[in-house]
Chains A and B, each alone.
Chain A
Amino acid sequence: MRKPGKMLKLALGSAGKKPATVPYPYKKLAMPDRFRGKIAADSAKCIGCKLCMRDCPSAAITINKVGEKRFEVEIDLGKCIYCAQCCDSCNKGVLSITPEYELAQLDKKKFKVIYPNAGSPEDTPKEP
């Protein structure tokens, strides 16, 4: 039936209900398990095959040789499109996806993340 004000009931009903929205910076929603966020790398496992570099659609990933059979992974988060194809391409399990999504930066240089390969297990990404 056509009449004006069809939404009256829903609108009045909602006024007393909990809002569907969330005050974002104070309350964060959980990401799904398969969420493709920031790419993490375990450079110690890298063998330097560069399959990830070859498949990356946006040329965001670079493998630097830092020593004899030692490589480190460098990812430009500003270029990365978060398709996680590199994680699929890598045969050695170097690259993995994390649920981290708040990656905005004021300084473009901070987008470059290097996962150093010092040979020790306590590797943490250093930010230039």
Chain B
Amino acid sequence: MAKEEEIRESLTKQFGALEGKIRIQRARRMWAEVEPSDFETVLDYLRKSQGFVILCTMTGLDKGENLGIIYHLAREDGIMLNVEVTVPKTNPVIKTVTAVFPGADHYERELVDLLGFKIEGLAPGFRYPLTDDWPEGQYPLRKDWKLDPSLKTGKIEES
């Protein structure tokens, strides 16, 4: 666990606000909670100085009042740092990371479609994964989302 401890130490040294917010779950699994204002600099630091060059994926969470994003970052040696950022549901705006990780494009679009995030700086393009005529304001992965009867298009035969 020496490497994980080292990463924690250098992170807290660099960003004082992260004190006590980094958790080591087991070998090669670390979790961190970062404020939306810092997350860009933290991700940049992690990528450039700590070798977290792989963005495995991004998970969107519905946490009731807030929405969360987990950036699953990994290093070549298998250590994984999951950076969680929380934004209020009323104004779920977050900056894009596509400048740093070009591969994040589809992951961010997925967050926009399914959880209603507003990603600042995301290049225009096709939406993913919902259909082009999906109505505004319907975010299926939110916990309070109910299927609008008008959206049902397929007929399921009574058996």
Contacts and interface: CB of A to CB of B under 8 A. Distances in A.
Direct A–B contact present (CB less than 8 angstroms): yes
Contacts, number: 7
A27 interface: no
A78 B157 CA distance: 12
Interface in B145-159: 157, 159
**Interface size class of chain A, counting residues whose CB lies under 8 Å from the partner chain:** under 10
Contacts of B159: 76, 78, 108-109, 111-112
A111 B159 CA distance: 9
A109 B157 CA distance: 11
Contacts of A78: 159
A120 B98 CA distance: 69
B contacts with A: majority SS = loop
A81 to B, nearest CB: 16
A22 to B, nearest CB: 34
A62 to B, nearest CB: 12
Nearest to A112: B159
Contacts of A109: 159
B156 to A, nearest CB: 11
A76 B159 CA distance: 10
Nearest to A79: B159
Contacts of A76: 159
A7 B159 CA distance: 52
B157 to A, nearest CB: 7
A27 B60 CA distance: 52
Nearest to B158: A108
Interface in A82-128: 108-109, 111-112
Contacts of A111: 159
A112 B157 CA distance: 14
A109 B158 CA distance: 10
A12 B95 CA distance: 62
Interface in B128-159: 157, 159
A77 to B, nearest CB: 11
A76 B157 CA distance: 14
Nearest to A111: B159
A111 B157 CA distance: 14
A68 B87 CA distance: 57
Nearest to A109: B159
Interface of A: 76, 78, 108-109, 111-112
7 contacts: A76-B159, A78-B159, A108-B157, A108-B159, A109-B159, A111-B159, A112-B159
